[in-house]
Structure formats: structure tokens, C-alpha cells
Chains A and B, each alone.
Chain A
Amino acid sequence: MGRVIGIDLGTTNSCVAALEQGQPLVIPSRGGQKIMPSIVAFTGDGKRLVGHAAKRQAVTNSMHTVYAAKRLIGRKFESAAIQRMRERVPYPIVEGPHDDVRIELRGQVYSVAEISAFILSEMRRVAEDHFGSSCSEAVITVPAYFNDGQRQATKDAGNIAGLDVLRIINEPTAAVLAYGFGKDVERRVAVFDLGGGTFDISILEIGQSVFEVVATAGDTFLGGEDFDLRIIDWLVEGFRDEHGVDLREEPMALQRVKEAAERSKCELSTVNETEIHLPFLLGAEGGQALHLQRTLARAQLEELTADLVDRTLEIVVRTMDEAGMSKDHIEDVLLVGGQTRMPLVQERVADHFGRPASKGVHPDEAVAVGAAIHGANLVSQTLDMLLLDVTPHSLGIMIHGGYFSKIIPKNTTVPTSASHVFTTVQDDQVQVRISVMQGESDHAEDNELLGEFVLGDLRPAPRGEVEILVNFEISADGIVGVSAKDLVTGQQQSVKVTASSGLTRDELEEMAERHGGADGLAEVENPEVQALRNQIRDLAQQVEAELPRVREVLAASALGDDVLAKSTDILAQAGDVVEQGDRPSLEETRTSLERVRSMFQGILARG
């Protein structure tokens, strides 16, 4: 079994890590970057851009640039989250054939899993470039609140990218794994994860090498980009006041402003004041160019974004209340996500928890490192770890009046089971429909439907007299089983809710094949395949060199033209395959050439 890579597939940025000689290593890209924007774009001539290059044209090519695909993955098209996203992003989100979400780019429709697969492929390539060998096994992280469908879709994305996804683990769990790596810690920690696009707060308990998420919550529309937007607004409005021009109508200018805003925000984490200088931002009448020049102070940035920081802490308070914990229960606080570098965030978190945050993990890298640690443990079993997760959402059924009855509350450690007795609502009611749902709203329609079944053959009786026991079970693998039983007759029905990403098996296979092939052409080649090509070239050269002598020998033998014709055919085929062939055809050609070479050697030895 080869090396397992850990991938933090983030909403805004992604990161890949692995264990190198027992130590975690965050793998830099060719440009030295350890994090890569989770952005995919298609240029006018259909070229695919991923990561940094895609980010640097995101505004000028906004209709064909997908960002924050993670907010879409594994969701139903009709869901509130998707409808909200449709209003917020410039790229076209369309409905897929299975009520899933698709994205249309340059006339081509992609599933969200495919888009995520492009990012994962790039991560894989970065790792393979670094190690010079294939990296086909991975552990990928997801937010703790991801439901089964979202997890499955993430796994599908990994498969499309040609990865064998050994495990999907929760991001806060991964961060805590990185925090606890090589230490014998037993404590309760809060993971405050403020990334580029989302905010998550999780409380975990570490004890006896057991990592348990005891509570988790967040806001999928709150992150570092919201902080950037405040600076962008400030710059754009200032420019409009000064020059009477709206930069939002100028994509090239706005792209530069957006980048400058992010850069200045980062700088203000270490300095008190920064200059924002964008020369020749716009052309004006008379050929005069307009420049943007502003000074932004840290205090001003804090003023612009104070309410965003407040929102994160409100979620922290609510989550801890729901988990029945106070700040005194928290023994350490981990800051994860680039936005936690902001001094104001650090101060407010420290104030809230009454202690400074741990410096033990790198905010950008901790999650990927934790995934790599877990991956290494899966293949080598050298680390004694047990990850225990909780249900991120409450599970229950829809009851009369369209209400939602919770049977397993959120943050329940899995595996678990729970039961509840319901009654009929009509006289002589002979069947009931059990709609299995997850979510937190009292109104069923606001929650997500996981599956349905009908329990029939109930005995006719006045309403309220027939009692039905509904039982929920969640296995360690996250599979939800629901059964309903008439307590008098013993009549029973059940359903197993298995995760679905919204893609069929055939679609997945087709996508994996399509993108696997495309990647082979468009990207840097796998070193093993490259070695294969070199072997074929060497073999072909040897065979060609021996061909004249073999021809001489065969001219006087009974083997004759057939052998020579076959050999030259294989040589010609090798010429084509070595340039364009995929791995199977390369391997086949190598075998053929080896046979020809052996045959030639035999002929020459006899001749």
C-alpha cells in the first residue's frame, strides 16, 4: 500500500499533506504555495484553470469561474441553500437529472462532484510531483455538519479524480489530530475554524487516543471573504467619491481591487497600517489614467468588520449552550482557518474563552495534516487512534400537521439508536407514511428528506389507538436504519437510508473515465506512466537496431515475412502509443515489444 495523502478540501482554499518519515509534511505546489484556492475556471478557448490561476481571473471571467463549490456539493437543487447560492454567485447553477445540482460552464454541464474532482486532481498532482510517485489513496475532510449525501458526494469527487478515498473525516477532528499528534493529551478543546467562506465551531474531547466530537455548529456563509468584501466596499465607495466612477462595472479593475483588499487584510494582521496602491486602474477621458491610492489602518479594518466577528462568537455561545457547556469546560482553543490570523479575532476568542488560543497548530495546514495523520494510521496502524463522531443534525420523522419530531438529537455520538411511539391520527387508518428527515426546524418542510416508506395492514381502530414504534439506528459507518412496528399486530416495515450524492453509478464511472483521460493529457504526467513511455522508447530502439540483422537471418529461413511484418507492425504501433496511449495500452505495448525483442534475440542467437 502506498502513501496516503490527506486533503483539506475547503470552501475557499484546499491543502494537501502526507507523512514523510513519520512527520507531517504540507506539500507545496510548484510555485511554493501550500494552500490552493478551491476555484475552477474555463477560459474562452475552453482551457481549464484550477487554483491560483483561476482565482486571479475570477472577476474578469466570473460567469465561468466556480468558487465555493463546497456549498453546493451533495445538496438537492430545490434546497434553500442552493436557491440562496443561485442568487449570490455569477456562474449558472442548473438542475441536474436527479434533483441534484449542476453547473454550466462554456456550454458544458458539470456536476458539483466533477468540479470538486478538478481541485482534488490538482491536489493529487501536487503530491505526485513532490514525491515523484503515484498518490492514489486519500483521506478527505469535510465539515462536521455535512450530512450523508454531502459526504458521499465528496467521496464521489475523490473517485472521479482517480483517488481511492479511504475515509471521510470531520475537519475539526482532523485539526485536533494535528494538535494532538505526538502528544499524550487528554482534554476538551474548542476548534474555532474561520476559513475563507465558512465558520465552524466544534467541541472535541481527546482521551485515551479517542477523539470525540461532542458538539458542532457553524455558518456556511460567513468567512474571510466577507471581511474582504468590507474592504472592497470601502475602496470602491472611496474611488466613486473621488472620481465619480463605479469600479464594480469594470471587471479588470475590480479584480485588482479584490486582490488588493485581501492582501491588505493579510498585511494588517502584522502591521498597523498598509498602503493600497493600484496604478493605472482605469482609463479616463483625455487618456488620463486613474490610480487608486488609499491607506488602511488596522483599527479601521476592525471597525469595518467588527460585526462579522460578533457573529462568530454568537454561534460559539449558542453551540456551547446547546451542548450544556460553559467556557470553563474548555481546556484549550484551537484557531483554524486563515481568517483567525486577524488580531481582532484572536483577541475576541481569547476574551470569550478566558484563555489565549493554542499556538500548537498552523491555521491553514492543521486540517490537512490531521487527515494525513489519519491516513497514515489507516495503512500502517502504527498510531493507536479512534475517531468518534457525532450526528451533525437531528434525525426524526414528519408527523401530522407537517411538523418534525426529533428522535435522535444532533451531536449524539454514533453509533447510536433511539425509539419513539406514535399513534394514528384518523379513525380506521390502515397505513402510515414514515418520512425520515434530518434537520433542526420544527417544520418538516424546512428539513431534508432522507427517505420514505409506508407501513400498511394496520388494524382498523379509532384514531390514537393504534401505536406504532419508530426506531432509528445509526451505525458506525453512518448508515441510518429506520423501522416502524405496529405494537399490537407486530406488522413491521423498515428502510435503510444510504447516502447518495445525486449521481448514479453509471454517471460516476463515465465522469471518472472522462476526467481521468482528460487529466492524463492536460496535466503533468504520472511519473510511472512517464517511465513506461521511456521503457517503450528504449525497447523500440533496440528492436529497430536489431531488425536489419534479423531480416538477414530470416531471409534464409522458413519464418519469413510474417514475423517481420508482425514486428514492424508492433514497432509502428509503439510509435503511436508512446505519444498518446493510456496506461493499459502502454503496458500492452511494452509487453509486445519485450516479446519481439526476446524473439529477435533467439533468432540472432540461432542465426
Chain B
Amino acid sequence: MSPDDRVRSLLEEGLFCLGLSKEDEALDRWRAVLEIEPDNGRAREYINFVLEQRGELVVTEPEAAAAAVVADTPERLDVSSGVFRRTESGELVAVTAQDLPPADGAPATGVVEPAEETPSGPVEATAAEAAPAEPVEAAATGSASTPEHGRISGDTAPIFLPAEMLEDIALAEATVSETEVEPTAQPAAVAPAPEPVEELPAPAAPPPELVQAPAAEPVETLPPPAAPAMDEAAPEENPLFQGALDLFEAGEYSEALSLIERVLAAEPDDQEADALRERVREALLGQYKARIGALSETPRVDVPDGDLVWLNLDPRAAFLLSRVDGILTFEEIIDLSNLDAFTANKLLHDFLQEGLISVGD
């Protein structure tokens, strides 16, 4: 297996584990990815997300945060700031105070990657709202196209900003908002990475809210961000959402569903996550139906009555299993189950997979 394949496999395995709530095992997989590719952005995002969820990631303590991310690879990183950037050679290094933009400087956009290429000329900037605890996402200056929010590419490292830095950015942004700015003449050189840089909130912070401004147009004023835009962007910021999407695209529907359910548990109104869940469920339903086969078939139970007690069944599953009587067809069982089609098909699929029921002689 090539290193790339190994990395991909470990990333997916980690997501499977996370889907099964085996967070430690997930972390092990992703840390193993960092052993192979220390700058693997996805692994870092996933790790940070889990740690954050567990309250183990303290962003105001940069050292601790960084140490948590790369617990087993501390020697490779300068963890002085807790904020990371990629060098020209692609290496991930911690952002130091010197790398940060000046509080009164135009480029104070929250975009700090790479620090040494921070534009000095006129920039277009976005900024977070005044509340320092809220995350800030900024479009890369001079980028020809608006990057897709939250789609964390594999080579984009997440950046965590200490609260005091966010305050600095807020100050800078206030300055910028009153300044007419011009597009940069050399956007590519100034901001080579079109991907957005995301900042996740501190563990106790409210759900992340993002602010984005058009990347290639001058900004005269920076109005307060529109709520819908923030809502749309919010789910994509979630590494779990991205993980679910990755798994869905890889055809790993069960695991994708597991992850997306977690996203929706935290954000029940997340429309994008809801839409993804529907797609995943549709794909899964297709798989279940394929396994079940002809609905006109009549299944029967293969487990003796007395052994059923040894199964770990949910009462709904037990009810559905009790409908399998050698007389009713799959179609009739689904119809009379009083369960939604997805659940009924899933349970029947699971019964078949586990050998509890069968069809034919």
C-alpha cells in the first residue's frame, strides 16, 4: 500500500471509528496519518474537532492545543503560538507573534497564511464581528475566485487563534472598514492559497459563524454579515460534515450517515447537513433494497424462539422481527410495520445480514 493509500485508509478508518463513537481509536488513526504526513490538514482538523468536542482543546493555550493535535509528533512543530502556517516548502510551522499582522495594518484579515507573504499593499478584507470569541474566516486577498467555504482541502491546515489575537483582528478590521482599499496587483503572490482559512471556536464558544466577503472586489465598507450566509457556511465548517461527505462520496454510506447524524444532533436546523442525510439515506435505502431483493418474497425467521433473547434488539426491531411469520411478504411487512420505509428496510436488511431471517428453501 502506498503512503497515499495508507493515509486515505487511515483517515477513513478514523471516521468509521468516530461514527461508532470510538473517539480514541479515531484519534489513533489520524495521529498515525500525521506520522506519515505531518502536515495533513484533514487529520489535524479531525483531531482538533474531536478534542474540541471533548473539551480537551484549549485554544487560549496555544501550546496545549498544538500539543494535543500532534501529541506524538511534538518535535516537528514549533508550538509557540498554537497557530500554524505552511511554509513555501509545504511544511507546517507554528505562527509566532512576529508572523501576525500588525493590529493597525491593512492586511489584518485573519488570513495569516503564509505569514511572510502577508500582503503589504491594499487588500480586500473580511473580518469577524466584534465579539472576539467568534471565529473569523477570511478570503484570500486577490484570489480570482471566491473559495468554497468550509470545504477543507487536504493541504489546508486549520488555524486556531487565541482570543487576544482575535481582538487584534477586530481592531484591524475596524480600521479597514473605514478605508477604501484597492485590489492587489499581485494576488497570487500575496495569497497563494485560495482555500479559506477556518478558525474554530473555543470549546465553550457558541456555534461558529463565518463572515465572507467577495475576494476580488474592493470593499468600501464592511457591512455586518448576513445571517443566511453564516447559516449556510456553518455546517461546512464542521469537519464531521466534511467527513460525512467524504465517506458518502467514497460509497461508505452507513458511516457517512452515522457522522451526519452527529452533525445534525448538534445542529438540528442545518439544512445542508439535512440534505446530505437525505442523499445518504437514499443511497443506503438502495443498498438495503438490493440486499432484500424481491419484495414479493416471504421471509422466515431462522433463529429459534428461545435464542432471540440473546440478541440485542431494540423493541422496534423486535416488533418487526415478530412480523416475519413465513406468511407475509417483505412488502407486506414493510407496509404494516408502521415504520418509515428507511427504517423498515434497514432492519430487514440487518436481519438478513445477521442471519436472523432468510428467504427461499
Contacts and interface: CB of A to CB of B under 8 A. Distances in A.
B336 A57 contact: yes
A34 to B, nearest CB: 12
Nearest to B332: A53
A283 interface: yes
Contact of B327 (A33, A44, A47): A33
10 contacts: A49-B332, A57-B337, A256-B319, A277-B306, A278-B322, A280-B318, A289-B313, A289-B314, A289-B315, A289-B318
A53 B336 contact: yes
B315 A47 contact: no
Given A56-B328, A61-B338, A291 B314 contact: no
B319 A279 contact: no
Nearest to B313: A280
A136 interface: no
Interface string B38-77: 0000000000000000000000000000000000000000
Contacts of A61: 336, 338
Contacts of B315: 252-253, 280-283, 289
Contacts of A494: none
A49 B318 contact: no
A256 B305 CA distance: 14
Contacts of A47: 335
A252 B319 contact: yes
Given A277-B305, A283-B314, A56 B335 contact: no
A279 to B, nearest CB: 4
A492 interface: no
Nearest to B305: A277
Contacts of A251: 338
Determine chain A's interface SS by DSSP, over half rule: mixed
A53 B338 CA distance: 12
A281 B309 CA distance: 10
A49 B335 contact: yes
B319 A291 contact: no
B342 to A, nearest CB: 13
A282 B318 CA distance: 9
Contacts of A57: 336-338
A52 B328 contact: yes
A280 B317 contact: yes
A568 B327 CA distance: 46
A277 B323 CA distance: 15
A57 B322 CA distance: 11
Given A31-B298, A33-B327, A289-B313, A56 B336 contact: yes
Contacts of A291: 309
Interface of B: 298, 305-306, 308-309, 311, 313-319, 322-323, 325-328, 332, 335-338
Interface in A31-58: 31-33, 41, 43-44, 47, 49, 52-54, 56-57
Contacts, number: 73
A134 interface: no
Nearest to A43: B335
A47 B337 CA distance: 12
Contacts of B338: 43-44, 57, 60-61, 251-252
Given A32-B327, A56-B323, A281-B318, 7 more contacts: A31-B327, A52-B328, A54-B336, A61-B336, A253-B319, A256-B318, A259-B322
A291 B310 CA distance: 11
Nearest to A59: B338
A339 interface: no
Contact of A252 (B309, B316, B328): B316
A159 interface: no
A47 B311 CA distance: 32
Contacts of B306: 277
A271 to B, nearest CB: 15
Contacts of B298: 31
A447 interface: no
In the A-B complex, list the 5 residue pairs whose CB atoms are closest, starting with the nearest.
A280-B318, A57-B336, A31-B327, A53-B332, A252-B319
Contacts of B317: 280
Contact of B319 (A44, A52, A255): A255
A91 B318 CA distance: 26
Contacts of A255: 319
Interface in A228-287: 251-253, 255-256, 259, 277-283
Contacts of B325: 56
Interface string A434-465: 00000000000000000000000000000000
Interface string A93-136: 00000000000000000000000000000000000000000000
Given A277-B305, A279-B309, A53 B328 contact: yes
A54 B323 CA distance: 11
A278 B338 CA distance: 19
Contacts of B335: 43, 47, 49, 53
Interface string A282-302: 110000010100000000000
Nearest to B328: A53
Contacts of A256: 318-319, 322
A44 B335 CA distance: 9
A279 B328 contact: no
B24 to A, nearest CB: 22
Contact of A280 (B314, B323, B327, B328): B314
A264 B325 CA distance: 16
Contacts of B305: 277
Contacts of B322: 256, 259, 278
Contacts of B316: 252
Contacts of A52: 327-328
Contacts of A31: 298, 326-328
Nearest to B341: A45
Contacts of B313: 279-280, 289
A259 B328 CA distance: 15
A501 B322 CA distance: 40
A247 to B, nearest CB: 11
Interface string A193-235: 0000000000000000000000000000000000000000000
A273 to B, nearest CB: 16
